Homo-oligomer: A and B are copies of this chain.
Amino acid sequence: GFAKIDTERNKRTGVPEIIYGEGKTAEQIIGIVEAMLEKQNNILVTRVDSQKAKEVRKSLPQLHYDEVSEMLLWEKNPVAKTIGKIAIVTAGTSDLKIAEEAAVTAEAFGNSVVRIYDVGVAGIHRLFARIDEIRAAQVVIVIAGMEGALASVVGGLVSSPVIAVPTSVGYGTAFNGMAALLTMLNSCATGITVVNIDNGFGAGYSASKINHLAEAAK
Q: A2-B93, A124-B156, A210-B161 are in contact. Are A182 and B190 (CB under 8 A)?
A: no
Least CB distance from A72 to B in Å reads 16
Interface residues on A, range: 35 or more
Closest to A159 in B: B14
Complex partner residue of A183 from B2, B147, B171, CB under 8 angstroms: B147
- Give the chain B neighbours of A170 by CB distance below 8 A: 186
Chain B residues contacting A122 (CB-CB under 8 Å) are 6, 9, 17, 152, 155-156, 187-190
A178 to B173: give the CA distance in the assembly, Å.
8
Can you tell how many copies of this chain the complex includes? 8
B residues less than 8 Å from A96 (CB atoms): 2
Q: Mark A93-112, 1 if CB is under 8 A from B, else 0.
A: 11010000000000000000
Q: Tell me whether A152 and B121 are in contact (CB under 8 A).
A: yes
Contact B196 A173 (CB under 8 A): yes
Q: Is the C-beta of A57 less than 8 angstroms from some C-beta in chain B?
A: no
A96–B147 alpha-carbon span in the complex (Å)? 24
Residues of B within 8 A of A15 (CB): 159, 190-191
Given A152-B121, A156-B12, A216-B214, verify A24-B93 contact (CB < 8 Å): yes
CB pair B194–A13 under 8 Å, yes or no, is no
Known: A93-B3, A149-B149, A171-B22. A12 touches B159 (CB 8 A): yes
Which B-chain residue is minimally distant from A129 (CB atoms)? B4
Tell whether, in the assembled complex, residue B159 and residue A121 are in contact, meaning their CB atoms are under 8 Å apart. no
Q: In the bound complex, what is the Cα–Cα distance between A32 and B190 (angstroms)?
A: 18
* Pick from B121, B160, B184, B206: contact of A191, CB under 8 Å: B206
Query: Chain B contacts of A146 at CB under 8 A?
Result: 186-188
B94, B168, B184, B201: the one contacting A190 at CB < 8 Å is: B201
Q: How near does chain B come to A207, taking the closest CB pair, in angstroms?
A: 9
9 contacts across the A-B interface (CB closer than 8 A): A4-B117, A4-B123, A121-B153, A146-B187, A149-B153, A163-B193, A173-B182, A173-B185, A191-B205
